[in-house]
Amino acid sequence: MHSINCYPWRMTRTITQAELRNGSAGVMDALEAGEDFVITRNGRPVGELRPISPRRDMTVSELKARLAGIGRSGDSAEERAEIDAAFGEDRFDD
């Protein structure tokens, strides 16, 4: 099972479904400011809201150049770092 706060460098605020519904403008402002939320229903966590990480658009040529050497080194940590550099690190680890 994953922990509720998957991003330890940010504070996650827990709000109810009603708080989300009634205060959606404030939640959106907080998301834009970088805040994360866990949404609960009947006291049970049911979802997460988090800001979208800014990503730089790449051309096909840039993507091919970045990925050209992946898989040849035999070093999975190096491959993971290259993939993270190209696409970001938005993933869950077990």
Q: What is the pLDDT of residue 94?
A: 45
- 39: closest CA among 49, 27, 25? 49
| pLDDT beyond 50 at 76 | yes
Q: What stretch of H or E contains 30?
A: helix 24-32
List, in order of start, the domains of the chain with CATH numbers. 12-49 (3.40.1620), 55-87 (no CATH)
**What average pLDDT does the segment 69-89 reach?**
72
* pLDDT tens digits for range 6-64: 544 557 899 999 999 999 999 999 999 989 999 999 999 999 999 987 777 778 888 77
- 40: closest CA among 72, 16, 12, 70? 16
